[in-house]
Amino acid sequence: MSEISSLIDSLNWNAVEQSILNKTESDVLHALDSSKPTLEDFKALLSPAAIPHLSKIAMLSQQLTLQRFGRVMQMYVPLYLSNECQNICTYCGFSMDNKLKRKTLTDEEILQEAHIIKAMGYEHVLLVTGEANHTVGVSYLLNAVKLLQPFFSQISIEVQPLEENEYKLLVDAGVHAVLVYQETYHREVYKTYHPKGKKSNFDYRLATPDRAGEAGVYKIGLGTLIGLENWRVEAFYTAVHLQYLEKRYWKTKYSISFPRWRPHAGTYAAENCISNKEFVQLISAYRIFDQEVELSLSTRESPNFRDNVFALGFTSMSAGSKTNPGGYANKEESLEQFEISDERSAAEIAEMLKSKGYEPVWKDWSTCYH
């Protein structure tokens, strides 16, 4: 069993949950005063006891973010290369059992998308695929990266978990970041949502950031799908994972994403929803706990919410996103992974940021750093 699997299994889900619920107001105040918050402080910040202090927590989060990252927002956009998938994930629009037209972009189509995204002003692009080794395996990805290199300064991937040597090939080809979400850290619950396909292997997925770290990936993105299990406990497990990775792969940057379950072509309905207030609590708690971790805000969130929440701890945002392969070139809205909520264009988001005293940063990398 891998080191990370042992670490995760050494924690007891119910005990962690109870410990978070038992945190008191004085634990919350202690966490707010701590110069180096611990995992126990993080629990306090995530706890229901912290809710009455939310404005203080959010203010501290905003201040720490400003200090570390400045009045800027990194801009990125997803480029969906394929919606083919061999997994059954009961919450996902790309799930193998969903009767959805499948599509994998050809070279020509990739270039078409690249031109459009580039014209939107983007320099940082996130390549997304489903998990289908025979069509979107490493050779497909290497080819896509090669095609896209001349267009973009930074290319990241959110694709199926790969082997260490495959990550090495991708890093050498110019891949900057690898995003791989555990979805849930609850081993048994994970099984129920991922009954079939390679993704049903909890441990293989859990050790993916290790393989990416060993391969020298510049940035690793973690996250859980909010709605599958208790978000407070998920956040705690994510933080344990983050600390574990930071110590081992100290040359790698880390980011956290907060996908909230959104309606899609499947039938699943989320039970463990998070309120907007709790969402603010979640990101603020992360920022206070780890002042250097990057936090990413996607178009799953609504316009009004994004306009108000971005400055409270986030460091990167997407805008004008399409979540279906070929979505930028073809207006027809089908084949998508999930419905986005903020449909404003990249230019509109840039204007919104500027009006609030923030500079959108389109380029913060150079292809010479490979």
Partner 1 sequence: MTPDVLTIADTTFQSRLFTGTGKFSSGEEMYHALLASGTELVTVALKRVNPNEKEDIIFWLQKGNFHLLPNTSGARHAKEAVLAAHLAREALGTNWLKLEIHPDPKYLLPDPIETVAAAEQLVKDGFVVLPYVHADPVLCKRLEDVGCAAVMPLGAPIGTNKGLKTSDFLEIIIEQSKVPVIVDAGLGAPSHAAAALEMGASAVLVNTAMAVAGDPVAMAGAFKKACEAGREAYQAKLAPIRKQAEASSPLLSFLDSL
Name the residues that contact partner 1, by CB under 8 A.
66-72, 118, 121, 123, 153, 218-219, 246, 250-253, 292, 354, 357-359, 361-366, 368-369
Question: At closest approach, how far in Å is the CB of 111 from partner 1?
Answer: 17
Would you say 94 or 254 has its CB closer to partner 1?
254
Q: How far apart are CA 11 and CA 31, in angstroms?
A: 22
Kindly report the three-state secondary structure assignment for every residue of the chain: CCHHHHHHHCCCHHHHHHHHHCCCHHHHHHHHHCCCCCHHHHHHHHCHHHHHHHHHHHHHHHHHHHHHHCCEEEEEEEEECECCCCCECCCCCCCCCCCCCCCECCHHHHHHHHHHHHHCCCCEEEEECCCCHHHHCHHHHHHHHHHHCCCCCEEEEECCCCCHHHHHHHHHHCEEEEECCCECCCHHHHHHHCCECHHHCHHHHHCHHHHHHHCCCCEEEEEECECCCCHHHHHHHHHHHHHHHHHHCCCCEEEEECCECCCCCCCCCCCCCCCHHHHHHHHHHHHHHCCCCEEEECCCCCHHHHHHHHHHCCCEEECCCCCCCCCCCCCCCCCCCCCCCCCCCHHHHHHHHHHCCCEEECCCCCCCCC
CB of 250 to partner 1, least distance (A): 6
**Minimum CB separation from partner 1 for residue 8, in Å?**
23
Q: 279 vs 358, which CB is nearer to partner 1?
A: 358
Using the minimum distance from each CB to partner 1, give the nearer residue, 68 or 196.
Answer: 68
Residue 96 near residue 87 (C-beta atoms within 8 A): yes
Q: How far is the CB of 93 from partner 1 (least distance, A)?
A: 33
Residue 244: CB minimum distance to partner 1, A: 14
CB of 356 to partner 1, least distance (A): 9
Least gap, CB of 70 to partner 1 (angstroms): 2
Nearer to partner 1, 100 or 212 (CB): 212
| CB closer to partner 1, 292 vs 333 | 292
The residue (of 274 and 346) whose beta carbon lies closer to partner 1 is 346
Shortest Å distance, C-beta 360 to partner 1: 10
Nearer to partner 1, 163 or 359 (CB): 359
* 60/189 with CB nearer partner 1: 60
